[in-house]
């Protein structure tokens, strides 16, 4: 955790704005379909999704290990006139009450053990918007935390997939290969 924190603090302090190009198209597409509720932005970074959620009226917790990132997020929220609850925490140890959220957003933070916890943290009809780098042979794929094609389906095997896509996606001025999905926990199959 300490290593992650130092690394991301240094990146944000040095002006790294990778991924900071507005909310991912999948969230932009789906957000207007849902009534606002309580949301968790996992590894929120500089807050592009937390801010979008707050603008749509969601009560939003934004969790990240980087104090520098969260400082920027808080500043942005103030400037936008919205409220985001920025929480400095290590997601390896983060816990919350069961059934706390209607929506969890997890983009470009890959942690297998976290996905079963999402089931506990979501309310019965709650949904996850998830996106990750994809390992592909071309120029737009790969990265240390990329998933193999099809692997996200296995990670969410216990979930009802409302949307699923793999392939190139614009991310600011670059194109990256991603896997992206919207998933809902199946009723009665809440994992331990």
Ligand X SMILES: C[S@@+](CC[C@H](N)C(=O)[O-])C[C@H]1O[C@@H](n2cnc3c(N)ncnc32)[C@H](O)[C@@H]1O
Exposed/middle/buried for residue 34 (C-beta within 10 Å: 0-12, 13-18, 19+): middle
Residue 133, interface with ligand X (CB under 6 A)?
Answer: no
Residue 67, interface with ligand X (CB under 6 A)?
Answer: no
| Residue of the chain from 40, 43, 51, 183 that contacts ligand X (CB under 6 A) | 43
Residue 91, interface with ligand X (CB under 6 A)?
Answer: yes
What is d(CA 14, CA 28) in angstroms, rounded to the nearest whole number? 28
Nearer to ligand X, 173 or 187 (CB): 173
Residue 4, interface with ligand X (CB under 6 A)?
Answer: yes
Residue 185, interface with ligand X (CB under 6 A)?
Answer: no
| Residue of the chain from 27, 39, 65, 128 that contacts ligand X (CB under 6 A) | 65
Exposed/middle/buried for residue 181 (C-beta within 10 Å: 0-12, 13-18, 19+): buried
Residue 40, interface with ligand X (CB under 6 A)?
Answer: no
Residue 177, interface with ligand X (CB under 6 A)?
Answer: no
Greatest Cα pair distance, the chain, in angstroms, is 46
How would you label 55-69 residue by residue, b for 16+ Cβ within 10 Å and e otherwise?
ebebebbbbbbbebb
| Residue of the chain from 60, 66, 132, 136 that contacts ligand X (CB under 6 A) | 66
Close Cβ partners of 124 (under 8 Å, ≥ 6 residues apart) = 99, 185, 187
Give me the sign of the Cα torsion angle 173, 175, 178, 182. Answer: positive
CB of residue 153 to ligand X, shortest distance in Å: 21
CB of residue 191 to ligand X, shortest distance in Å: 21
| Residue of the chain from 69, 126, 141, 185 that contacts ligand X (CB under 6 A) | 69
Residue 13, interface with ligand X (CB under 6 A)?
Answer: no
Which DSSP symbol is given to 113? T
Q: How many beta carbons lie within 10 A of that of residue 79, not counting itself?
A: 9
- Which residue's Cβ has the minimum distance to ligand X? 45
Nearest to 129 by CA among 40, 11, 2, 35: 40
Residue 45, interface with ligand X (CB under 6 A)?
Answer: yes
Give the footprint of ligand X on this chain (CB under 6 A).
1, 4, 8, 19, 43-45, 48, 64-66, 69, 90-92, 107-109
């Amino acid at each position: 955790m300490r290593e992650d924190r130092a690394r991301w603090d240094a990146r944000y302090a040095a002006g790294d704005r990778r991924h900071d190009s507005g909310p991912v198209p999948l969230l932009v597409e789906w957000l207007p379909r849902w009534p606002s509720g309580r949301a968790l932005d996992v590894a929120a970074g500089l807050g592009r999704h937390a801010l979008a959620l707050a603008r749509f009226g969601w009560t939003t917790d934004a969790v990240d290990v980087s104090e520098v990132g969260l400082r920027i997020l808080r500043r942005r929220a103030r400037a936008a006139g919205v409220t985001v609850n920025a929480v400095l925490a290590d997601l390896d140890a983060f816990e919350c009450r069961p059934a706390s959220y209607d929506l969890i957003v997890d983009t470009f933070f890959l942690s297998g053990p976290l996905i079963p916890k999402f089931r506990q943290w979501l309310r019965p009809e709650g949904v996850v918007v998830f996106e990750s780098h994809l390992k592909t042979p071309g120029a737009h794929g790969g990265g240390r935390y990329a998933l193999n094609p099809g692997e996200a389906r296995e990670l969410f095997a216990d979930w009802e997939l409302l949307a699923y896509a793999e392939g190139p996606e614009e991310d600011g001025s670059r194109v990256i290969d991603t896997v992206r999905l919207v998933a809902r926990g199946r009723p009665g199959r809440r994992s331990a």
